[in-house]
């Protein structure tokens, strides 16, 4: 990759992602890393090439180099190495067949347990037993997950996060023997991609970036414009819940997400988290 190609990659990726080119100065520091972030895509098909334990360990180190709320370090990763355990999880999330076939499968967990252990070890009261304890550990785990993905992609790997494991939180927790105050945030499939990925379009920055105050003016028009821009590049392979909602003429992102969230999902997650002894008050 020559230096000259990087601005071209950035322009192309931003156009694909946001519908308008964002250009980078030819001498922009870190341009290669920025181009790679812009080109991110989830991968669900992998080659047979193994991911070495050495590389995996390096990626763990990268992931846990991420910032952490108050330096509390409230995230853990469980590598699912036992084939029988992998099969059990793959069976639970059978509509995600890449969980079975990925060379590496990890579960990223929020962990508020250690913070409580530290309080006990040092003979101090734990005076923050409320919703923030859950929030902070979930956020930390999410940041570690994203950092792992960035590192893996830099190393030429492809990943796919799997929140479907939370459709079976209790079973996954039991299987991995996750104790109280430790919960699965998401799984992650990892491997060398078997095929090139495709950059998916995102909402325009005019929707998601605000200046000084929250602004959702013309939100309906902006979302429809996003639907159309996205549809021009990628169609949904099938429409959700046609029996209930019929076939839509314009089946864009907003129709897909509205249909997705018209169906209850994970209504038991709060009970699971309370069962982990989190006080969500
Ligand atoms: C927390 C999280 C959970 C996800 N869970 C799943 C999942 O269960 N199954 C799946 O196939 N993809 C899953 N994904 C991948 C998203 O579908 C994907 O990121 C999204 O469609 C955008 O595509 P892109 O990553 O290629 O840009 C998840 C992504 C995130 C961040």
More confident residue, 1 or 211: 211
- Residue 226: pLDDT above 80? yes
Percent of the chain residues topping a pLDDT of 70: 99
Tokens of 238: 């099938």
List the one residue out of 120, 140, 123, 135 whose CA is nearest residue 72.
140
Compute, in angstroms, the gap from residue 219 CA to the centroid of ligand 1.
24
Q: Is 8 helix (H, G, I), strand (E, B) or coil?
A: helix
Over range 138-150, report the average pLDDT: 98
Compute, in angstroms, the gap from residue 161 CA to the centroid of ligand 1.
5
What pLDDT is recorded for position 33?
Answer: 97
**Dist CA 6 CA 132 (whole Å):** 41
Tokens of 1: 């990759």
- Residue 4: pLDDT above 70? no
Q: How far is CA 96 from the centre of its chain?
A: 15
Percent of the chain residues topping a pLDDT of 90: 98
Ligand 1 atom closest to the CA of 146, numbered from 1: 31
Compute, in angstroms, the gap from residue 160 CA to the centroid of ligand 1.
6
CATH superfamily membership of 53-197 = NADH Oxidase (3.40.109.10)
What pLDDT is recorded for position 26?
Answer: 84
**Dist CA 263 CA 253 (whole Å):** 16
What pLDDT is recorded for position 2?
Answer: 58
Interval 95-111: pLDDT, tens: 999 999 999 999 999 99
Binding-site residues, ligand 1, Cβ < 6 A? 40-42, 96, 160-164, 186, 200
Round the average pLDDT of the chain to a whole number and report it.
97
- List every span in the chain annotated with CATH 3.40.109.10: 53-197
């Amino acid at each position: 990759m020559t230096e000259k190609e990087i601005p071209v990659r950035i322009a192309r990726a931003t156009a694909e992602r946001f519908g308008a080119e964002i250009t980078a100065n030819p001498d922009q520091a870190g341009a290669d890393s920025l181009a790679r972030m812009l080109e991110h895509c989830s991968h669900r098909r992998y080659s047979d090439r193994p991911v070495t334990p050495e590389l995996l360990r390096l990626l763990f180190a990268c992931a846990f180099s991420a910032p952490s709320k108050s330096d509390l370090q409230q995230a853990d990763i469980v590598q699912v190495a036992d084939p029988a355990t992998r099969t059990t999880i793959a069976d639970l999330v059978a509509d995600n067949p890449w969980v079975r076939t990925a060379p590496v499968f990890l579960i990223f967990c929020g962990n508020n347990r250690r913070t409580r252990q530290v309080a006990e070890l040092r003979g101090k009261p734990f005076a923050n037993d409320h919703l923030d304890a859950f929030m902070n550990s979930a956020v930390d785990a999410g940041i570690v997950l994203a950092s792992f993905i960035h590192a893996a992609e830099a190393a030429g790997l492809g990943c796919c996060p799997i929140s479907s494991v939370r459709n079976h939180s209790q079973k996954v927790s039991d299987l991995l023997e996750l104790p109280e105050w430790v919960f699965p945030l998401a799984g992650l499939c990892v491997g060398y991609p078997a095929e090139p990925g495709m950059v998916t379009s995102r909402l325009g920055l005019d929707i998601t970036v605000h200046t000084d105050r929250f602004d959702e003016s013309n939100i309906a028009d902006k979302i429809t414009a996003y639907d159309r821009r996205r549809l021009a590049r990628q169609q949904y392979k099938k429409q959700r819940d046609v029996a209930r909602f019929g076939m839509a003429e314009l089946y864009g992102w907003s129709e897909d997400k509205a249909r997705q969230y018209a169906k209850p999902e994970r209504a038991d997650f709060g009970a699971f988290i309370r069962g982990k002894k989190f006080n969500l008050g």
